[in-house]
Structure 1
Amino acid sequence: MQNDLSLSAITAGFMAVVIGFASAMAIVFQAASAAGATAQVMASWVWALGIGMGVGSFALSWVYKRPLIIAWSTPGAALLAVSLGGYSLAQATGTFVMVGVMLLATGLSGLSDTLTRRIPPALGGAMLAGILLQFGLKTFSAMATAPWMVGAMVVCYIVLKGWRPRLAIVGVLVLGVCWTLVDGRLSDAEWVWGLTTPVWITPEFSLQAWLGIALPLYIVTMTAQNLPGVTVLKTTGYADQPVSPLITTTGGLTTLLAPFGGFTFNLAAITAAICTSEEAHPDPAKRYVAGLSAGVFNVLAGLGGVTVVSLFAALPVEMIAALAGLALLPVIGHALHTALQTPDSRDAALITFLITASGVNFADIAAPFWGIVTGIIVQLWMEKQRRYVS
């Protein structure tokens, strides 16, 4: 490994961690708040996520000698933020364990590719877009109370997105923090410095939680996270990478760390692209150092979870809303494109999208479940009618 070390690979791993935390940590905190988590429990979530991503990335990159990056599910966190309102923290933890067991079973059975193909991409995209819609809307509704700050963040995002896309969210975060420092809304006296103490939450299980949260979370993780993650590997020179062991690893990590707040782990896509690119190292065989680097920095971020929580708690709610919404804009756009690009699936996808976005709740089961189930029924009916007519 000493011969393979390079500053570019170490830097790529560091940037992957910075971008991952900067772009999605606000969404994780919203999910934790929806579950009724205290500041100490939120810090435990950061600890679990950092440790899980760090250990997973380091171990897989070391074993396979290629940059294999494990991340938390950002769309999954968004789903939790809009779905956990009616559940206790123990019930929420139970859903995390359920998802981990399902991911573990998927990986061990070798059915990863088969199961993801069973879910029509258009309906998966529609459900994801419906989940994330509220985050995009909150970006602009935050302008009502903080027009100059949020407006500046939006302009910063647009400028950097066209100039240096990878730096867009990092730039928005830096601008927002600087803005709040200048106007006196953020003081470093509010920050807490120290190591995180993980908090165990005993999980509770229910059928409603499995149907309303765990199953949609599993579907979102497999379709919106693991599939793009596999695509990144295939398009950057690692097409021969076995997928099932990776899914097994994410399932095992989720199951083990769920009681501490590790809600879902999956293959990274955007941050993985940083570590698998030529910018990490010209030689694909030496890019695994970027994965090792990402693992180390993720563990360090997890250990300092209490500091991360105190920082985000000190930030204005408008800034957090704008940061989360802007970070999810590319995901929303891609999900809508996937949902509507196929004419034969468009009606079913629109119904899935609208039901999911409505937040409707029947029998204590959250809207994403009803959206995907209704969409599948409509899709099957439409296909049957087309065959009958033809």
Structure 2
Amino acid sequence: MPAAGSPSVLRPISAGVVSGLVGFTGPFVVVLAGLAAVGANPEQASSGLLAVSVLMGLSCVLLSLWTRLPISIAWSTPGAALLVATGPAEGGWPAAVGAFLITGALIVLTGLVPQLGALISRIPTPLAQAMLAGILLQLCLGPITGLAANPFEVAPVVLVWLAALRFLPRWASPLAFVAAAVVIAIHVAVSGAPIDAQALAPRLEFTAPAFTLSGLVSIALPLYLVTMASQNVPGVAVMRGLGYEVPWRRSMLVTGVGTMIGAPAGGHAINLAAISAALAAGPDAGEDRSRRWIASVTTGAVYVTLGIASAAFGVLVSLAPVGVIAAVAGLALIGTLITSLQATLAEPADLVPAAVCFITAASGIAIGGISAAFWALIFGLAVRWVLRIGRGGS
């Protein structure tokens, strides 16, 4: 066992710290916005952020120690974006909590029933990614609409992001958040807005779940599909590309149970990390591949530490001037939007169904109280089926 200060330990620890900071500081505003969109008040949204942060951190530690693999767990950022686009279901916040519980149960079921995982993997990637891209589009407009509504306070955030993207691309989103925090601090100092010191203390707000058909169809099923198709399945592929085979059943059981535990406190979903998985499992975590699991354990510790400060982050967001937080969220999601659009256009035979899926999801319409994300996938699959009749396609 190398000494704590040896390079073989320091490199994975430093990689884990970077992974945790990058994974939290940009996307957390999307999580807060998503929970608020489906009916959470500020205290419940902060509670949800605390729940998912601590649970994904503990899951990182558990799976990495259990498997000795650099498995990274994250909250479902695409799922949070979906919640923003969906809005409240019939039954309000309790119905959303019930939907989060169902989502966790479905993830557990996916780990226990291999056929369910195989069925999810049969959803055409261009359609799943087109649905996600349509959901993300509205959020990624945040920097533009923010500049139009409040140019003097949004422009510094965008300029810092752009400069960081040029010179420190990995830190672009975190530095945009730092810029936003400075803008908010100046705004509070100038406006004299009061800050409730008691609101800064971390706390959990539990809500009894309600199970409604609207919550199931509008939130639970789309959240499950988005989490599986844009996080868990790609997360396995990313790790495989780095030479690691993720234990599917154990990962689904840990993240599914974690999602169910966090749901009553407002947590929406945790899952395998996809894009950020390479930060803890790649070469930056050291040449010794057998010790890169230390990076994931460190990432988990960072998530738990930042999660404890979730109430303070929630207060910071609540004090933000118009457009600033929407800009930070949009900038944080641009990379995910690019990845989704690339996958959407990857299969020429599926361009029309994917376009239908993208347009429907981007429209934000709800038919019969059911969110656009659900209809996007249904319409896209229907068009794909019609276009393949008699051609021997699946």
TM-score by length of 1: 0.93
The Cα shift of 1:382 comes to: 0.5
Deviation string, structure 1 residues 128-166 (Cα, Å, up to 9, x no partner): 011111111122011122213333333332332233221
SS of residue in 2 equivalent to 1:85: coil
Mapped partners of 1:257, 1:168: distance in 2: 29
The Cα shift of 1:45 comes to: 0.7
The Cα shift of 1:100 comes to: 0.4
Mapped partners of 1:305, 1:288: distance in 2: 26
Mapped partners of 1:236, 1:317: distance in 2: 42
Mapped partners of 2:382, 2:373: distance in 1: 14
Moved more, 6-15 or 23-32: 6-15
Counterpart check, 1:56 vs 2:59 = yes
Mapped partners of 2:365, 2:112: distance in 1: 35
Counterpart check, 1:325 vs 2:330 = yes
Mapped partners of 2:190, 2:86: distance in 1: 30
Counterpart check, 1:213 vs 2:219 = yes
Residue number in structure 2 paired with 1:374 = 379
Moved more, 294-303 or 255-264: 294-303
Deviation string, structure 1 residues 230-257 (Cα, Å, up to 9, x no partner): 122112221x332221112111111121
Distance 1:353-1:343 versus aligned 2 partners, 3 A rule:
same
SS of residue in 2 equivalent to 1:269: coil
Letter in structure 2 aligned against 1:377: A
Residue number in structure 1 paired with 2:141 = 137
Distance 1:201-1:182 versus aligned 2 partners, 3 A rule:
closer
CA contact (8 A) 1:112 1:247 kept: no
Distance 1:296-1:2 versus aligned 2 partners, 3 A rule:
farther
SS of residue in 1 equivalent to 2:94: helix
The Cα shift of 1:105 comes to: 0.2
SS of residue in 2 equivalent to 1:279: helix
Residue number in structure 1 paired with 2:95 = 91
Deviation string, structure 1 residues 271-302 (Cα, Å, up to 9, x no partner): 32111122222211111111111122222222
Distance 1:313-1:2 versus aligned 2 partners, 3 A rule:
farther
Counterpart check, 1:204 vs 2:207 = no
Residue number in structure 2 paired with 1:158 = 162
CA contact (8 A) 2:32 2:46 kept: no
CA contact (8 A) 1:187 1:314 kept: no
The Cα shift of 1:36 comes to: 2.5
Pick aligned residue for 1:311 from 311, 316, 321: 316
Mapped partners of 2:186, 2:374: distance in 1: 44
Residue number in structure 2 paired with 1:67 = 70
CA contact (8 A) 1:103 1:248 kept: yes
Letter in structure 2 aligned against 1:259: P
Counterpart check, 1:254 vs 2:259 = yes
CA contact (8 A) 2:29 2:317 kept: yes
Pick aligned residue for 1:119 from 109, 116, 123: 123
SS of residue in 2 equivalent to 1:270: coil
Mapped partners of 1:387, 1:11: distance in 2: 52
Deviation string, structure 1 residues 311-366 (Cα, Å, up to 9, x no partner): 22222241101110011111111212211232211111111111111111112111
CA contact (8 A) 2:48 2:262 kept: no
Distance 1:317-1:11 versus aligned 2 partners, 3 A rule:
farther
CA contact (8 A) 2:89 2:95 kept: no
Residue number in structure 1 paired with 2:247 = 242
Mapped partners of 1:186, 1:310: distance in 2: 16
Letter in structure 2 aligned against 1:175: A
User: What stretches of structure 1 of length at least 5 have no aligned partner?
Assistant: none
Letter in structure 2 aligned against 1:287: R
Pick aligned residue for 1:282 from 287, 295, 311: 287
SS of residue in 2 equivalent to 1:190: coil
Number of equivalenced pairs: 387
SS of residue in 1 equivalent to 2:31: helix
The Cα shift of 1:260 comes to: 0.7
Distance 1:7-1:48 versus aligned 2 partners, 3 A rule:
same
Moved more, 110-119 or 207-216: 110-119
Mapped partners of 1:31, 1:138: distance in 2: 14
Alignment of 1:346-365 (within 5 A): 346-365=351-370
Counterpart check, 1:229 vs 2:232 = no
Mapped partners of 2:15, 2:310: distance in 1: 22
Letter in structure 1 aligned against 2:19: A
SS of residue in 1 equivalent to 2:87: helix
Pick aligned residue for 2:38 from 29, 35, 39: 35
Pick aligned residue for 1:12 from 10, 15, 21: 15
Distance 1:247-1:185 versus aligned 2 partners, 3 A rule:
farther
SS of residue in 2 equivalent to 1:119: coil
Letter in structure 1 aligned against 2:251: L
Structure 1 vs Structure 2 CA RMSD: 2.1
The Cα shift of 1:202 comes to: 0.8
SS of residue in 2 equivalent to 1:203: coil
CA contact (8 A) 2:32 2:49 kept: no
The percentage of aligned residue pairs carrying the same residue is 33
CA contact (8 A) 1:32 1:42 kept: yes
The Cα shift of 1:124 comes to: 0.3
